[in-house]
Structure 1
Amino acid sequence: MPVTESNLRRLGAWALLIALGLNLRPLLSSISPLLMDIRDATGMSFKSSAWLTGLPVVCMGLVALFGIRLEARLGQRRGVALGLAMILLACAARLLFSQANALLTTALLGGAGVALIQALVPGLIKQQFQQRVALAMGVYSASLMGGGGLAALFSPWVANHFGQWQAGLGVWLIPAALALLLWWRLPFSARPKVSTRSPDAFWHNRRAWLLALYFGLVNCGYMSMVAWLPAYYLQLGWSATQSGTLLAFMTIFQVIAALLMPALAQRQTDRRLLLAISLSAQAIGFAGLALWPLQAPQLWVALIGFGLGACFALSLILTLDHRRDPQQAGQLAAFVQGIGFLINALSPWMSGWLRELTGSFVSAWWVLIITVLTMLILTRRFSPGSYREAPPATACAVHAG
């Protein structure tokens, strides 16, 4: 097949989607395998160190809620570039500074950058991959989770190689710089500045809130895993490298699910069965982690990873299903992610608080099991008929029911 401008543009779009996704989780997942070294150096408690992963998620939520206005002001091209630059600066600062306050500041800075990109990408996908939205969302989700796994795997190795934990955190400025270069150099039809619809329509809409709460609760286990899974196994006698490898192992199954389940979703309009399978996998995995952590850790982590990887992609696909217009779909996704990530931000803090209260992370795993089972019941509400059976003039609307 000859290399045409159209083919080059398509390849560039896929390459950029992968590059963006890879940069959205190292800021979080590089912390946990090095947590003991960070706590020893800074004197942070379990609860306060949870904010190293919690604060970026708070930023993801708050920035996403303003995503409509931010896109209107910046446009996709400048908005994504600004987000990558903020991630790059946060990683560079982590390489240079080791104080607790500096780390928390980088969590805010980098988290805002991640949030800005995440707020813009769903609309970008709806615009750029109109006939392959589910597949593109799967590739994006897989890249996002793959970046988190690579950071969990390589951060301890880099820290050991250079003899300082700061190197394990700061090394992720390199992929951020490469992604920023790709974003400006490769051809991509980013949407220019857009007119903004009032976000009040979402704040007063029951279905938008239901989607937001659902997105937040089906995905909150990921933040607890990133923050505390290595720490859980460090307390059980594993080394930092072993525990980081376990988190990377979980990521393999996140990536598999993020590619497989959206590909299956591409063939049907009802997402409920796939969501039910994904939530069931999470529940079984968390139960194994609580009851038999040393008997089959790889199995429990694989189930959790598969469930989380699928739920992230499928819950965003479900959100995009509610709007046909790319701009409106992106705005709804920004609202859903905004509320959802604020819910996610409570998860690592809650797990750290329960760890200090009970002396174990097991109680946190049980809270996540109850949450997942509740969401499994709620999944029944998302029949395609609840958002597809509308008169032509309002077919794109998000219904209250």
Structure 2
Amino acid sequence: MRGALDLLLVVLLALNLRPILTSIGPLLEPMRQSTGLGYQQAALLTALPVLCMGLVPLLQPWLRRWLSEHAGMLAGLSAIALACLWRLQLGTAGALIASAVLAGLGVAVVQGMMPGLVNRWFPGRLAAAMGLYSAALMSGGGLAALLGPSISAYFGRWQVGLGLWAVPAVLALCAWLVLRPRKEATVLGGAARGHWFGNRRAWLLALYFGLINGGYTSMVAWLPAYHLEHGGTAQGGGELVGLMTVFQVAGALGLPLLLRRLTDRRPGLWLALLVQLGGFSGLLLAPGSAMGLWVAMIGLGLGACFSLSLTLTIEHLRTPAEAGSLAAFVQGVGFIVTGIVPYITGWLRDVSGDFQASWALLTCTVLAMLVVTACFAPNGYRQAIERKGQGVTPAAVN
């Protein structure tokens, strides 16, 4: 019974970590008409929250001194709910960007704790539990993209399509208060002592996580706009993001389950990256012929990559505290990288006049990550994570 409640809580928390991003793209055109946002400014609505998701976990060694896991979760969920409620009333570009920062800070706190929490609650079923967490996270994003345009059209205001997502945040907050296990980590995210800034493997994992998932933020930010440029509608753009999410969920759950007996994560990551490569190549070379197929392939690859790359990170260390600390660092640096990617792809769209240069950049990134994946042989985890970088190693590593 306790395990089922923990799984339910993980799902409820994860559902709130992407609507603040995915609700933007399908409503971008009415938002731009109402507020005067340009494409580069609009990119900030995705880039700034993702940068927050990076910066906050990097501060965990200091935040843990005064913020417990329970207090951090309450603060994070409250920030998400308040930002969404604020979006019901806002009407200026500045307020919209400020609400994105507030929501991003809330997501950053909750998301930074989740890998360590999952590792502590499900030590014997880590890959499956991480897959479920990833699938729920992506499902929340897909629902926001799919339902946002319809909800906005029904109420006649785009703000409602952004603000409605306060409801699941409040539900998750109530569920945390009622269902959470009373035994928790004594510090934010269960962070171990020390930091990872001088560890080479930690940096490699972080950059890998950021680049391997960089296509997600770009697709969320620009896929609806790309669809509109090819004669589509806002609702159609939301449906494409929803289609991508369905296959993300399938990738996050299916591939880790299929390869659960393998201790080596590289075959799964190679397969997921090759599927992504096919999808981005399709958008680049034949965008009008089978856009749904290309989007589905990208979603399948992205979903599997997110889940497997987090599992890869956690498996480098034995204890939940150490693994949670490393995961916080990896997500911290990784999400900063991931947040920069849609800003660059938006800039490329502005200077080139279309999205082909953006898709070319993402295709090259996937090719590079196919090569880097070879570095992650499981028999080298411990040696790599204990190797000194610039003379600094995490104090918690034994």
TM-score of Structure 1 vs Structure 2, range by shorter chain: over 0.9
1:129 maps to 122
Structure-1 separation of matches of 2:19 and 2:327 = 22
Instruction: Spell out, residue by residue over 1:291-324, the C-alpha distance to the aligned partner (whole angstroms, 9 max, x if none).
Output: 1112111110111000100000100000001111
Contact 1:71 1:79 (C-alpha < 8 Å) held by counterparts: no
Letter of the 1:354 counterpart: L
What secondary structure, in the 3-state scheme, does the structure 1 residue paired with 2:262 have? coil
1:318 and 2:280 correspond = no
Letter of the 1:245 counterpart: E
1:275 and 2:269 correspond = yes
- Structure 2 CA distance for partners of 1:399 and 1:89, relative to 1, 3 Å: same
Contact 2:9 2:180 (C-alpha < 8 Å) held by counterparts: no
1:379 maps to 373
Contact 1:124 1:190 (C-alpha < 8 Å) held by counterparts: no
Percent of pairs with identical residues: 50
Structure-2 separation of matches of 1:196 and 1:213 = 20
- Structure 2 CA distance for partners of 1:198 and 1:234, relative to 1, 3 Å: same
Q: Measure how far apart 1:122 and its partner are.
A: 0.6
2:395 maps to none
1:28 and 2:21 correspond = yes
- Structure 2 CA distance for partners of 1:327 and 1:242, relative to 1, 3 Å: same
Letter of the 2:215 counterpart: G
What secondary structure, in the 3-state scheme, does the structure 2 residue paired with 1:96 have? coil
Contact 2:191 2:321 (C-alpha < 8 Å) held by counterparts: no
Q: Measure how far apart 1:69 and its partner are.
A: 3.2
1:298 maps to 292
Contact 2:191 2:322 (C-alpha < 8 Å) held by counterparts: no
Instruction: Spell out, residue by residue over 1:325-351, the C-alpha distance to the aligned partner (whole angstroms, 9 max, x if none).
Output: 101100000000000000011111111
Instruction: Spell out, residue by residue over 1:4-36, the C-alpha distance to the aligned partner (whole angstroms, 9 max, x if none).
Output: xxx1x2111001100111100000000000000
Runs of 4+ in 1 over 4 A off after TM superposition: 195-199
1:120 equivalent among 92, 113, 116: 113
Contact 1:72 1:196 (C-alpha < 8 Å) held by counterparts: no
**Coordinate RMSD, CA, aligned:** 1.5
1:147 and 2:147 correspond = no
Q: Measure how far apart 1:71 and its partner are.
A: 3.9
1:234 maps to 228
Letter of the 1:362 counterpart: Q
What secondary structure, in the 3-state scheme, does the structure 1 residue paired with 2:87 have? helix
2:179 maps to 186
1:103 and 2:96 correspond = yes
1:175 maps to 168
Structure 2, unmatched stretches of 5+, are 390-398
Structure-2 separation of matches of 1:190 and 1:309 = 31
- Structure 2 CA distance for partners of 1:189 and 1:101, relative to 1, 3 Å: same
Structure-2 separation of matches of 1:362 and 1:268 = 37
- Structure 2 CA distance for partners of 1:238 and 1:102, relative to 1, 3 Å: same
Q: How many residue pairs get matched?
A: 387
Equivalence map 1:1-400=2 (5 Å)? 7=1, 9-194=2-187, 197-200=192-195, 202-388=196-382, 398-399=386-387
Letter of the 1:57 counterpart: V
Structure-1 separation of matches of 2:57 and 2:383 = 29
Structure 1, unmatched stretches of 5+, are 1-6, 391-396
